[in-house]
Every structure is written in C-alpha cells, then in structure tokens.
Amino acid sequence: MSTKSSRIPEFYKLSVEERLSIVRKYADLTDEEVETLRSGRLSYDIADRMIENVVGLMAMPFAIATNFLINGRDYLIPMVIEEPSVVAAASNGARMARVKGGFHASSTEPIMIGQIQVVRPPNPYKARLELLQRKDEILDLANSRDPVLVGLGGGAKDLRVKVLETFRGSMVIVELLVDCRDAAGMNAVNTMAEAVAPLVERIAGGRVRLRIVSNLASYRLARAWAIFDKDILGGEDAIEGILDAYAFAVADPYRCATHNKGIMNGVIAVALATGNDHRAIEAGAHAYAAMDGRYKPLTTWDKTPDGDLIGTIELPLAVGVVGGATRSHPTARIALKILGVKTARELAEVMASVGLAQNLAALRALATEGIQRGHMKLHARNIAIAAGATGDLIDEVARRMVEEGVIRIDRAKEILSELTGMGRETG
C-alpha cells in the first residue's frame, strides 16, 4: 500500500513544471517518461499503426486530479479533457470525501458479453434448449481461441440464450459471458463470438448474422460510495440543495442526461488518459442508466442519520490495463504508472470514484453558487497568467477581475501594472 499522499494543497497554483516534478517523484517517472509527458509525443509510426489514413497528431491537455483516497489508498488521477473546471471539480470532490474516509469502491468480475444472432431459426425455443444443452462444447470451442486468456484464469465462462420477437421475425440470441481479466476484452470476445458461430448455426438451424461484443457490460460493474461531511459541504442547506438536484434528475430525463454527463466528464477523462475506449464506456453507461426502462441517474444521494451526505455510484466499466492503446500509446502507459493500478478492476474502481467526486462537485456548485463563478475564477487566472502575472499576483489579478466582472487581457495588464508597475512590459 502506498504511503504517499495525494492531498497536495494548492497544486493548481504551481507552474506546469513544478507540478510535473511532484508527479515525477510521486510516480517514480524516468527522464524519458517526463519528456514524453512534456511533449505529448506520439510517433508517426505508432499513430499510423493505431488507425488508418493518418496525416497528423492532435494534442490534448493531460492534467492530474489530486486528493483521491480510495479503499484507503492515495491516487493521483491522470485526466485528459478539453473542458475547464472538470479537473478542479474532481479534486475538490475528492478533498471533501477524504474527511470521512474517502471512497469505498468495489467491482464485479470483468465479464463481457458476446452476442451471436441467429435469424430465422426453424424452431427458436427448441434451438434455445439445444444450445443450452451443448453449452460446454460451445464454451470449449470459444476458449480454444484464446489459451492466453484462459491461462490467466479468464475466458468464456457461461452461456445465455434468449429468443427475441422482432419485426423481422423470431431470432435466437446466444450470449457468451467472457471473463476478460485485465483487458477491456473487445477483441477477445469478438474472436470467440466469430469462432463459435458455425457451431451455433449447426445447432440452432437458421442463419448466424452478427457476432459482436455488447457495450452494455451489465456484468462488469464498478461501484463506489463516500460520505461527505455536512460542514465541509457548506451546511444543511447545501445538502438539501444537492438532494433537490438529485430528485430533479430522478424525475426528469432532460436533467438526468446532464447529471450523468457530469459524471462521465470525470470517467471519460480518465479513460482518455489511459487509452481506453471511451465510446464503449459512454454507450454502456447510458444504456445501463436506462436498463429499468426509464433513464436514471448513475449515482444516488441521501442523508445519513448524522446529517451528512452519502453518495453511491454504479456503472458498467469495460476498461483494461493491458492491450490496445493502453499499451501502444506511450502517454497511456505513463498514466497507468501514475495511477499505479495493477488490475482492470482497480482501474474501474478508481474511475467510478472519480465519477462520484465529479457529480458531487457539480451538484454542490449548481445547488449553491452556480457553476459560472468557478468557471470565471479559472478563466480569470488563465487571463492573468497570459497577461504576465506570476506567483501570488495571479490570484490577486484574477480576484480583482472577477470582482469587477471584467475578465479581459487588457484589464489584466492594467491591474498588473497597478500592482507592480511592470504589467505592460511583462504582458
């Protein structure tokens, strides 16, 4: 267990180089890794092997959310995102969770679903029983395609068969449940689904069409809960406001989409940093939110008997720490090193905790001062820095611009020159 603390007060006030130096020490990064982070380097060679028709590269900011305490362990969280305030909000949510012990996270086994679609089966319900009867044969065939995964304790573990009545007639759907261990597992599942398709067709009759993983990874769940102290949150009214916001999301899909979007701000930023398939995660999360036939928040919020706030989150997270871009992208490898996660399940637990922190921070801001003030503060700091402010002057220039309600570079330079007499020269 790490003895290092992720609680780094005023991390945001440091320069990029100062922050990098802290992260370097924390995660024991090599000179080369530091250089890779600094430059955002990805060789044309690697890029050209990742996707087709490559003509260039596009860099994104790579940031660190601080303060995360998850299952008693400290984590620095790498986040890649273009939207301001998300990293600050995650760090803020995590700081508030620390007081009452941080996040308590858990996860299920990393089971993915591979679907094989049989169309026009002559006798769908009989086919279903025959497929179930020959389950072992089908699983053995699937597993023969991935001895490495099987050797690691993963592989096809179970089989479900359902009959669907569609507007194109009855279909039999075979679902392979595959333990993907530390891989996201899309490739492994697709390979197995394709491998068993001819046997499935022989048993069921009819014709196999699709053979593909389902992104609704409802057997691969990550969960987290945390208690937030009422005084830290800003008292009883702040808690009532957060609960009102939650009730709004439960009752209204228009609000719920935004509620869940805020959660995914954090989850997807970690997915991007670690080279995971964020479209799969996004699709799975929203489908899971609608699984009861009604689109619901991925989090729940309630008051504890002591009057504190308790939040929970549960969502499917098909993520890996081996294979795909998690390995081929040099920055993704560094992100995993900074996180120090050993397994895909641990990564999923961290991501669920980040989602919960993100949601808490958003709801608290929305239910109290609104989110624009925080945005404005960050924006004003950036403008102050662009105007040449350094050290304590950054906050002072930013504070005055926010107070005046004028956040512009010319005003930042004026304030800076009033404060130092040097604003125009340094701007």
Does residue 362 touch ligand MEV according to CB under 6 A? yes
Alpha helix positions (H), 185-252: 186-204, 230-233, 236-251
Does residue 261 touch ligand MEV according to CB under 6 A? yes
Does residue 378 touch ligand MEV according to CB under 6 A? no
Q: Which residue has the tokens 């570079």?
A: 409
Residues 70-109 that bind ligand MEV (CB under 6 A): 83
Q: Considering only 21-29, 95-103, 212-220, 256-264, which stretch makes contact with ligand MEV by CB under 6 A?
A: 256-264
CB 93 within 8 A of CB 358: yes
Does residue 119 touch ligand MEV according to CB under 6 A? no
Q: Considering only 57-65, 343-351, 361-369, 379-387, which stretch makes contact with ligand MEV by CB under 6 A?
A: 361-369
Q: Which residues of 262-278 are buried (b: 16+ CB within 10 A; e: fewer)?
A: bbbbbbbbbbbbbbbbb
- Exactly one of 232, 366, 402, 406 binds ligand MEV (CB under 6 A); that residue is 366
Which tokens go with 210? Answer: 């699709």
Nearer to ligand MEV, 149 or 269 (CB): 269
- For residue 254, the minimal CB distance to ligand MEV (Å) is 11
CB 48 within 8 A of CB 57: no
261 is catalytic: yes
- The catalytically annotated residue of 375, 379, 395, 396 is 375
The 294-333 contact track toward ligand MEV, x by CB under 6 A, reads: ----------------------------------------
CB 225 within 8 A of CB 120: no
Q: Which residues of 379-407 are buried (b: 16+ CB within 10 A; e: fewer)?
A: bbbbbbbebbbeeebbbebbebbbeeeeb
277 is catalytic: yes
Does residue 259 touch ligand MEV according to CB under 6 A? yes
Q: Considering only 53-61, 93-101, 166-174, 360-368, which stretch makes contact with ligand MEV by CB under 6 A?
A: 360-368
**Strand-strand pairing, 207-214 and 111-119:** antiparallel
Report DSSP letters for 163-176, one per residue.
Answer: EEEETTEEEEEEEE
**Strand-strand pairing, 111-119 and 169-179:** antiparallel
Does residue 257 touch ligand MEV according to CB under 6 A? no
Does residue 420 touch ligand MEV according to CB under 6 A? no
- The catalytically annotated residue of 261, 303, 337, 379 is 261
Nearer to ligand MEV, 127 or 363 (CB): 363
Which tokens go with 377? Answer: 């503060």
375 is catalytic: yes
Q: Within a 10 A sphere around the Cβ of 416, how many other Cβ atoms?
A: 26
- The catalytically annotated residue of 18, 83, 236, 244 is 83
Does residue 262 touch ligand MEV according to CB under 6 A? yes
162 is catalytic: no
Does residue 184 touch ligand MEV according to CB under 6 A? no
Q: Which long-range contacts (CB under 8 A, 24 or more apart) does 162-166 make?
A: 162/128, 163/124, 163/125, 163/128
- Catalytic residue numbers read 83, 261, 277, 375
